[in-house]
Chain A
Amino acid sequence: MDLIRQIPILSIITYIPLAGALAIVFFIPKERSGAIKYVATAVALLDLVVSLPLWFAFDRNGPGYQFVENVSWIPSLGVNYHFGIDGISLILILLTTLTGAIAVYCSYTAITERQKEYYVLLLLLQTFMIGTFCSLDFFLFYVFWEVMLVPMYFLIGVWGGERRLYAAIKFFLYTLAGSVLMLLGIIALFFLNTTGFLSYPGLDRPPTFSIEALTSVAAGLPATLQIWLFFAFFLGFAIKVPMFPFHTWLPDAHTEAPTAGSVILAAVLLKMGTYGFVRFSLPMFPDAINTPWVQSLMVALAIIGIVYGAMVTLVQKDMKKLIAYSSVSHLGFVMLGVFSLNMAGVQGGILQMVNHGISTGALFLLVGVVYERRHTRMISEYGGLARQMPVYATYFLIMALSSMGLPLLNGFIGEFAILQGAFARSLWWALAAATGIVLGAAYLLWLYQRIFFGELSNPANAKLPDLTAREQLTLIPLVLAAFWIGLYPRPFFDILRVPSEKIVAAVGGKTTEAPAVAAAPGEAPVAPGPSGPVPQAHP
């Protein structure tokens, strides 16, 4: 395991897909679609395999960033090529490499046109996503963060559904508009670190974009300035999450994107926003976040997202749109957990990011399966599929239950910890959020009932073949992950403990106060905290 610390492992993981994409561009003619698929799959699998050792080599108790690479990039500006990960980035990188491989593998039959461009774009997207999670330099982070939009734009625009052009440009413009304001926030921080900004004096330090350095600069600013900067960053992240009322791009993009695009959007791209909140907003602007009205606003938006998202989900007629809207509700949970500002909430929120990636990613895959067979996503077109496709129905049931938070499965652990965190702050927060869980069970079970139960009334469905081996292979890793987190989440809490403690300490919460008790049946409570588990009642 020492070897992994001596090689630039993060750069290798980041650029394997890029190298694969270039190889496909230059060495495989576009007529050889078979070779393109296999090379793309091999590259994505290789990336997954190379990323796995991170999980084992990562030091759970290490206080700082690990596997750090730091070389000068634009010295005149103080920009460094600075990579490094903590537990949060680690699990998101693994989620990315896993869903990246699945996204490539699930597209064999769905994508029949312009295959070369398609697989090249998927691989490029993966490089940019991993780079975003690895970056410890704001400039570098921003570069990856923005350029990521380009391949996604084309994935939606070329291979999407009927309204793909509208969905693609809407996705691009919305997220771009948010992130350019974040750029101004970064520039302001840059000046506050050096020569000062507006009437605020600077610290006269050498120019830098280091995330760690600028975080400490930001945390020391007066509250009014912190609030301004918080909202500059907030727009960039909130649109990406998406939080109510910035969510309107999401149903369009999700619905129109090809299956692999939806999977990546759900599993990884939405996490960019929540990652931004935990990595930047919370540690950087503690005084802004502890300002009562700001905090109330954030929690209110999160709860509106949960309840409103769930209610809109209930009335959807289109399967894919239904799952897309359910993301608004689920991400509302994540935000509620994060803005509970205690250990249970933050850890639960971060874990729920992964859970949402697994459950919703799998549900998009499953919708893609029948869409490929029937070319319709209308729920009314289906019914009684359980008889015709029993294996499919089983997978769908597992993932639907995981998404609604049934014990034994991953969603339960995350939602439990989030509610615990919210409850510690206010009974009303938890109560409002709990209605979201009830509504979630309603829309998912109702969806399941309409698709799978009853008579097989539509003759078009009479001859639908069940899942192929390849389709099952794309789903099995996600099912296993769902059970793993559901039954034994401790490794995940372990790996999230140190970074969560740092975040909670930064916003002034007590890190030992609220143990994230993830009591799945048969599982001892997991109680993190540097001074050991001290479960206690709190108001």
Chain B
Amino acid sequence: MTVSATDWLLLSPELVLTAGGLLLLSLSVLVDKAREEFLGFLSVVLVAITGAALALVASHPARDAGAILGGMFVVDNFAVFFKVLVLISLLLAILGSIRFVGASPYPGGEYYALLLFAGVGMLFMVSGHNLVSIYVALELMALASYILAGYFKGETKSTEAALKYFVLGAFSSGVLLYGLSLVYGLTGKMGLPELGKVLTGPARSNLLLIGILLILAGLLFKIAAVPFHVWTPDVYEGSPTPVTAFFAVGPKVAAYAILARIFYVAFPAFYADWGLIVAVVAAATMILGNLAALLQTNVKRMFAYSSIAHAGYALLGVLGFQTDFGLWGILIYLLAYTFMNFGAFALIIFLETRGYAAESVSDFNGLARRNMGAAVVMLIFLLSLAGIPPTAGFIGKYYLFTAAMKAGYAWLAVLAVLASAVSLFYYFRIAAAMFFAETDGAPLRSSYALTAAVAICAVGTLVVGIAPQPFVEAIRACVPLAR
């Protein structure tokens, strides 16, 4: 197999980011702890350069010509859309970390490098067009994530989070790999389009179904769907908060990309087999995620369960694969989710860096009096998470409910809207604390980097909600996927 110049060019975002991560690693040896905010800003610049490279790729005429590296990867509109999401979540995570990591006793250089390597893994994942390349990219992301979860190694909870994440993550990777090997063994194909072409007829073996089921289970682990969700609350609670914010968005978004790609491109003929399973999993995920979130007093755990519930909503889009609405729903919902969920976590980071560990809901008490802007922005994120218009969350949920209705799962749509109404109750516990409760705290001010992250999220949440047309156009251009 030869690697052409075009291939190199189309891989430039990944290459830039990898080189950036290596650069950060080398620099971290030279920069002392007091000056390492510089490394944070440098990594912002590196993400920006990657973004520029991505823009170059997106406008490259050869992009549509087909797969690169002999069919390992593809850069269709779908991949470009997800790469943008990955870079946004990476940028937000870095902005949210600068003050946080700077104030901690742990070195920053490796931290940013690990974030970038996880980002590289995700960039490859969303382009993956072959079972092997997808798996390797997934592992690259996962390995970097395990270290990030335990990065604050002096904290017991952080170490616990890393261990749980690693053990369960490795197990789920094993399940996924087993499924991949079964499918390969039975078909002799690795490329997704080839699999899609072979797996069309009614002839199917039970072993093949087991393989597909194991792949599904492995991916459901990664998106934290019930019953594969148990690792989430502990990992989210224990990890450093900017890392949690990143986990809740980046890896999930990337996992959804490969879930969508594998099942849309390779296994559409088996919809009848996996459709009902996904429906049941989605129902269980929405119900359990929301009900468990109702009972939490720890904010990070509450958002962990809330993100489980959101994974359940997004599964409605997977159900809708037979119509375009399904993929549209996943795409626009994940766009909304990136902004609103990261925004909410950014506010938790905001309270934490100022000496108030935002562990319990009462830490939000009286935020409206201490910093009205922060309280209003948090309210916007909460409304969006609950799916109240005119926010991005509403547009996203609208598409997902539409997808479920169109796919004939009206009962699931009813369940989803009711679950979504219930979620308002726990989101608004925070709103009530911010606006109704009294406080004796002094006014709060945010760092510039964090303010920038929050501003990006708030603008994104409102613009997608009020003027969704350009985004709707963008997601429509992503479908159908390259086959």
Contact = CB atoms under 8 A, between A and B. Distances in A.
Interface of A: 73-77, 117, 142-143, 146-147, 149-150, 153-154, 157-158, 164-165, 168-169, 172-173, 176-177, 180-181, 183-184, 187-188, 190-191, 195, 197-198
Given A172-B424, A176-B424, A183-B417, A76 B389 contact: no
Nearest to B476: A76
Question: Chain A interface mostly helix, strand, loop or mixed?
Answer: helix
Nearest to A199: B408
A147 B410 contact: no
B425 A74 contact: no
B468 A158 contact: no
14 contacts: A143-B389, A143-B394, A146-B388, A146-B389, A154-B435, A157-B436, A168-B432, A169-B428, A176-B388, A181-B417, A183-B401, A184-B401, A188-B405, A198-B410
A187 B401 contact: yes
Contacts of A173: 421-422, 424-425
A190 B468 CA distance: 18
B405 A177 contact: no
Contacts of A176: 388, 421, 424
The 4 closest A-B pairs by CB, nearest first: A180-B417, A143-B389, A76-B472, A177-B421
Contacts of A190: 402
Interface in B364-397: 368, 383, 388-390, 394
B418 interface: yes
A169 B417 contact: no
A198 B408 contact: yes
A184 B410 contact: yes
B229 interface: no
A198 B420 CA distance: 23
B2 interface: no
A154 B388 CA distance: 15
A150 B402 contact: no
A315 to B, nearest CB: 31
Contacts, number: 81
Given A181-B414, A181-B417, A142 B389 contact: yes
Nearest to A190: B402
B88 interface: no
A184 B414 contact: yes
A414 B102 CA distance: 69
B389 A184 contact: no
B189 interface: no
Contacts of A157: 432, 435-436
B406 interface: yes
Main secondary structure of the interface of B (DSSP, over half): helix
B288 interface: no
A169 B421 contact: no
B437 to A, nearest CB: 9
Given A76-B476, A146-B389, A157-B436, A180 B418 contact: yes
A180 B368 CA distance: 29
Contact of B413 (A76, A164, A184): A184
Nearest to B472: A76
A180 B388 CA distance: 10
Contacts of B469: 73-76
B436 A147 contact: no
Contact of A165 (B408, B414, B418, B432): B432
B440 interface: no
A218 B401 CA distance: 20
A177 B386 CA distance: 12
B430 to A, nearest CB: 12
Contacts of B425: 169, 173
Given A183-B401, A198-B408, A198-B410, A74 B417 contact: no
B418 A177 contact: yes
Given A117-B368, A153-B428, A180-B418, 7 more contacts: A75-B469, A143-B390, A157-B436, A177-B421, A181-B414, A187-B401, A188-B405
A147 B473 contact: no
Contacts of B401: 183-184, 187
Most buried by B among A75, A158, A165, A180: A180
Contacts of A165: 432, 436
Contact of A76 (B383, B405, B408, B473): B473
Contacts of B368: 117
Contact of B417 (A168, A184, A191): A184
Nearest to B468: A74
Nearest to B399: A77
A381 B421 CA distance: 40
Nearest to A144: B389
B388 A147 contact: yes
A158 B369 CA distance: 13
Nearest to A198: B408
Most buried by A among B421, B422, B435: B421
Contact of B435 (A143, A158, A195): A158
Given A184-B405, A184-B413, A191-B406, A147 B472 contact: no
B405 A197 contact: yes
Contacts of A143: 389-390, 394
Contacts of B476: 76
B389 A180 contact: no
A432 to B, nearest CB: 34
A147 B389 contact: yes
Contacts of B417: 180-181, 183-184
A143 B424 CA distance: 16
Contacts of A168: 432
A195 B406 CA distance: 9
Contacts of A177: 418, 421
A418 B228 CA distance: 58
A117 B432 CA distance: 15
Contacts of A74: 468-469, 472
Contacts of A158: 435-436
Nearest to A180: B417
A329 to B, nearest CB: 28
Contacts of B402: 187, 190-191
